Amino acid sequence: MKKYIYILFLVLAITGCEKEEMETYVGFNYVQFVDSYADSTTLSFFFYPGQTELKYPLGVKLLGVMQGEDVHYKLRVVKEETTASLDMYDIPESQVLHAGNVTDNADILFKKSGELDMKAFRIVIDVVDSDEALAGETLYCRKVFWISNMIAQPEWWDADIVKSFLGTYSDEKFEEFIKIAGTGDLSGKSPDEKRALVLKFKYYLQKRIDDGDPVKELDGSNMTVPILG
């Protein structure tokens, strides 16, 4: 008998959870960021030679029923936790998630400043309630950016890049790579595009060795990359 009571309790609990979840989203629009608050983002103008402004595709998503019209939502810069000055960013409060989309990009802009040469500055952004959309899950309603104009290992230079493309990171190698590749951002590149840029860098390094003027690492060794080809 106890076994049947337990099963009945379990069925009621599951049904109750499903009902609560449906009631949570029916009739309301909820908007949140694609990435969680734990995933902060580091951006450096050093990766983008010659650029004084950077548009960043900050992903947002709609929770609930897809709308047949634009959904207007709001972002707020958390001034008390932001160290960047107003001349370093342009983040409109009013944003649009376009009709027919479950995911979209917020309209944000970062601006180069002389102060970014000396240290990184923090910008904290929250999704907040608006007339058309409420803020979603707490963990996904805040985004933290660190912006600078200093050289540092980018997020895309991961274990795969170390093993198969560029080898161990160093500031010297990254700076030299940017000169030859014309970019310091491979995050949006396809595997073929990455390979083409790194091979171009490899041939440059080899030519410098052949010419008797090798590019050196800080420890005095010749700069090399492991990519095959």
Per-residue pLDDT of the chain (229 residues; tens, 9 = 90+): 444 444 444 444 444 444 334 344 455 789 999 998 887 888 999 988 889 999 999 999 999 776 688 999 999 999 999 999 999 999 999 999 999 899 999 989 999 999 999 999 999 999 999 999 999 999 999 999 999 999 888 889 999 999 999 999 999 999 999 999 999 989 889 999 999 999 999 999 999 999 999 999 999 999 999 999 8
Give me the residue label for tokens 């800080």. 218
- φ/ψ of 122, rounded to 5, equals -100, 140
How confident is the model at residue 14, as a pLDDT?
45
Residue 60 near residue 73 (C-beta atoms within 8 A): yes
How confident is the model at residue 66, as a pLDDT?
67
Residue 201 near residue 225 (C-beta atoms within 8 A): yes
How confident is the model at residue 152, as a pLDDT?
86
Domains in the chain: ranges and CATH: 30-148 (2.60.40.1740), 153-229 (no CATH)
Q: Alpha-carbon distance 68 to 44, whole Å?
A: 38
Report helix, strand or coil for 195: helix
Residue 127 near residue 31 (C-beta atoms within 8 A): yes
How confident is the model at residue 103, as a pLDDT?
94
How confident is the model at residue 138, as a pLDDT?
95
Q: Alpha-carbon distance 170 to 186, whole Å?
A: 16
Burial 85-98 (b: 16+ CB within 10 A, else e): eeebbebeeebebe
Query: How far is CA 2 from each of CA 54, 136, 160, rounded to the nearest angstrom?
Result: 64, 40, 55
